[in-house]
Amino acid sequence: MRSEIAALELNNTWSLVDLPLGKRALGCKWIFKIKYRSNGSIERYKVRLVIKGFTQQEGLNYTKTFSPVAKLAIVRTLLATTSIQAVQSDYSLFTQLKNGSFTALLIYVDDIVVASSHMDSIEVLQRFLNDHFIIKSIGNLRYFLSIEVARSSKGISICQRKYALDILANAGSLGSRPLKLPMDQNLKLHKDDGDPLLDPLPYRRLVGRLVYLTITRPNLYYSVQHLSQFMTVPITTHLHAAHQVLRYIKNALGQGLLFSSSSSLTLRACSDSDWAFCPDSRHSVTGFCIFLGQSLISWRSKK
């Protein structure tokens, strides 16, 4: 709590003034949060001091919203002065090629991931950011947005084991029997081949979580895109198919991707289509995957 107060004062978050006549001061409160590591152990305790915004009235207590984190537009402007350019396909990703050194910087709210072919480039960038913002380096990347990262001489591997366990726990499927396939090859889900769910929210929430799991589990992409087509009016058959996917996930919780350190720089691509497989629309489902050497770097499955 003392560190939070010190950071707010250092950033000149507020100015002390006399309370205007007839005005009532807004209250504030502490928000406490525990940040966990990928193995479930506690990494650190976090705290934030916030105004009780639910008591404010627009035009009376405030005229614009405020966020206590670095705004992306400000960061983009600062980085432009260092010849670091934004990637057009992803406005959170910035890259720089300078003196034979390649550097990539990824921003998510107030978390930043930096990678470079030279450590000197990372240190220069850290000093630059620290001159404009108060930043804290926590070392090598190990856990970021529910993605677990491990490095070895063979390369970099990523997975979402803890996130997968959380999905199973929330769905009550920790005790279910594992399956070797996420979905039967010839399964055709219809939009009205069953009874509508009384509460569709758990199904929508489950499929949304599964979509995020496909970041490191491309083998789930076909099944998840199939389930996501029925978010509007899910039925019992769709929910049963989703539970089958959960049982498949349990069969290999730590499965993920390996980006090999010995891969060649040769691109290979594969694609396929099932040709009018959908029983409702007669549309096809197409899919592709792209490899850089032995490493899978891009994939898609779409109706």
Q: Of 27, 55, 83, which residue is a domain's last?
A: 55
Residue with tokens 């921003």: 107
Q: Please count the structural domains in the chain.
A: 3
Determine, yes or no, domain membership for 9.
yes
Same domain, 193 and 288: yes
Same domain, 133 and 213: no
Region at 179 (left for phi over 0; alpha for psi -120 to 50; beta for the rest): beta
Same domain, 190 and 277: yes
Same domain, 78 and 23: no
Determine, yes or no, domain membership for 249.
yes
Same domain, 196 and 292: yes
Sequential pLDDT tens for the chain (303 residues)? 998 888 888 877 888 899 988 888 888 899 998 887 767 788 888 888 888 877 776 667 666 655 545 556 666 677 767 778 888 888 888 998 888 899 999 988 778 899 999 999 999 888 888 887 777 888 889 988 889 999 999 999 999 999 999 999 999 999 989 999 998 877 888 887 788 889 999 999 999 999 999 999 999 998 998 898 888 889 999 999 999 999 999 998 989 999 999 989 999 999 998 887 777 778 888 899 999 999 999 998 888
Q: What are phi and psi of 70, to 5 degrees?
A: -65, 125
Angle between helices 236-251 and 161-170 (to 10 degrees): 140
Same domain, 80 and 50: no
What range does the domain containing 121 cover? 72-138
Q: Of 55, 80, 97, which residue is a domain's last?
A: 55
Same domain, 121 and 257: no
Query: pTM for this one?
Result: 0.74
Return d(Cα 185, Cα 221) in angstroms, integer: 14
Determine, yes or no, domain membership for 66.
no
Same domain, 132 and 211: no
Same domain, 167 and 199: yes
